[in-house]
Amino acid sequence: MTHTKRHAAAEKARYPAAPDNPPPTQQHFAHISRYWDRENQGYAAKLLPGEYYVTTAGERISTVLGSCVSACVRDRRLGIGGMNHFMLPLDASKGSSIWGTAVSAATRYGNVAMERLINDILKLGGRRDSLEVKLVGGGRVLGGIAIDIGARNIEFVRKYVADEGFSVAGEDLGDIFPRKVHYSPETGKLRVKKLNAVRNDTLYERERHYLEVLDRDPVGNDIELF
């Protein structure tokens, strides 16, 4: 047996093959990309900007954050929970200023990003009073945009969590680095790896694109009278 082959065999013994399919998930998460995380011997969901995911199956959730933020929320009694990945739209073009900051398009968008995640956990049996919240992201990474988008996202998410009466069990926010994040709703463990600030063009491109989409899409248009 060559050295490489022996090495591969040892690897295989240490990391058994992935089960054929990831655990079942809810229909509205069918589009979320999931992969076999060899090191942790379990499936993990990988979030893109604007997505969120909730699991009851012990999966991990990973994402890469630049100026976006993620709230990691779980019910600590049940070990179920999830994570979102969002940023606030720039508000300038929406002209909602007569209602002040409490009802700006940015705030309404952020609220929904948080509420979808929390509601899904509550629907699966979670209780508000046993939710544990961790916050991550909001780096000052998008050059060329005049306002500090990361700081704005941090300010929003901190205020939201405080207004809802949740305490923050842990946070890793701000600074100038993008972050690679792994969260386990089952244990509540949040692992953050700071990435090189200059070598993440894909990430910046993705966030800029997300921001453009947010800016184009009207916030709130779906009303039906019976």
Partner 1 sequence: MARLIMTVDDSASMREMVRATLQSAGYEVVEAVDGQEALDYARENACDLVITDVNMPRMDGITLVSELRGLPHYRLTPLLLLTTESSQERKLEGKRAGATGWIVKPFNPEQLLATMARVL
Among 34-42, 110-118, 147-155, 200-208, the segment contacting partner 1 (CB under 8 A): 110-118
CA distance 28 to 217: 21
Give the C-alpha separation, 217 to 166, whole Å.
Answer: 30
Provide the β-strand partners of residue 180: 64, 193
Smallest gap from Cβ 99 to partner 1, in A, equals 5
The catalytically annotated residue of 64, 68, 136, 195 is 68
C-alpha angle with apex 10: 4 to 16, nearest 5 degrees? 125
Q: Which stretch binds partner 1 (CB under 8 A): 65-73, 105-113, 183-191, 206-214?
A: 105-113
Cβ 125 to partner 1, closest distance in Å? Answer: 11
Q: Is 167 in the site for partner 1 (CB under 8 A)?
A: no
Q: Which residue has the tokens 């022996």?
A: 6
Using the rule CB under 8 A, is 200 a contact of partner 1?
Answer: no
122 binds partner 1 (CB under 8 A): yes
Stretch that binds partner 1, among 122-130, 136-144, 196-204, 205-213 (CB under 8 A): 122-130
Question: What does the alpha-carbon distance between residue 86 and residue 93 come to, in Å, rounded to a whole number?
Answer: 19
Q: Between 16 and 165, whose beta carbon lies closer to partner 1?
A: 165
Please say if 72 is a catalytic residue: no
Closer residue to partner 1 in complex, CB, 21/221: 221
Task: Select 115 or 148, whichever has its Cβ closest to partner 1.
Answer: 115
Helix/strand/coil for 198:
coil
Q: Which C-beta is closer to partner 1: that of 64 or that of 87?
A: 87
Residues 6+ apart with CB under 8 A from 202: none
AA letter at 13:
A
- Tell me the residue type at 57: A
CA–CA dist 104, 86 (Å, integer): 16
Residue from 115, 148, 155, 175 binding partner 1 (CB under 8 A): 115
Closest to partner 1 by CB, 100 or 143 = 100
In terms of Cβ atoms closer than 10 Å to its own Cβ (0-12, 13-18, 19+), residue 63 is buried
Q: Are 208 and 196 in contact (CB under 8 A)?
A: no
Contact pick of 4, 167, 196, 221 for partner 1 (by CB under 8 A): 221
Q: Which is it for strands 60-65 and 42-47: parallel, antiparallel or unpaired?
A: parallel
Question: Min. distance of Cβ 128 from partner 1 in angstroms?
Answer: 7
Give the catalytic positions in this structure: 68
Residues that bind partner 1 (CB under 8 A): 96, 98-100, 102-103, 105, 107-109, 111-112, 114-116, 118-119, 122-123, 127-128, 160, 163-165, 218-226
